[in-house]
Amino acid sequence: MRAIEPWVLGPLRSFVSESSARLALLMTTSGQVVAQHGFTGALDLMSAAALGAGIIASSSELAMQMDWPPFRIVAHQGEQFSHFLAWFESPRGRWVGLVVFGSETKLGVVQVYFDQLVEELVAAAPPEPVQKKEVLAADFERELNASLRALFGR
């Protein structure tokens, strides 16, 4: 389990343990990975983050076009594996959670523990710094590589 934001680890570790999640990913709505569990390759992780963020964006747009309330949760059930994808408000803005779980776990169980995860994340978040550091183009690659190293321990 790896995280860019260390305060996320405790709540995510509890969620994975209680929900029996095979894979778990927390990201921003733009697909920036905040924390992950179970992914072994950077390409798989980044692809899942981009696709998850895209699904949330497209389903939100669909709801808006149909004049419906936004879909907060998108879930697909398969024979062996299922996934749960949901956005939520965090102290750091809107985040997205992606969870893959096996057939031994029910969707309702994942949803209950996910709601608990969100509550724990809100409680665990430290106060945001008063002045945010501006990301310069020259620093982007270095910061991206540092984030990947933090997520994969390399």
Entry pTM: 0.81
Cα angle value 85/90/95 (rounded, 5°) = 35
| 3 state SS of 126 | coil
Q: How big is the CA angle at 95 (ends 11 and 125), to the nearest 5 degrees?
A: 45
Helix (H, G, I), strand (E, B) or coil at 72: coil
Domains of the chain: 2-152 (3.30.450.30)
Dist CA 63 CA 71 (whole Å): 7
Residues 23-71 pLDDT 10s:
999 999 989 999 999 988 777 888 899 999 999 999 988 988 899 988 8
> 1: which 2 tokens?
């389990």
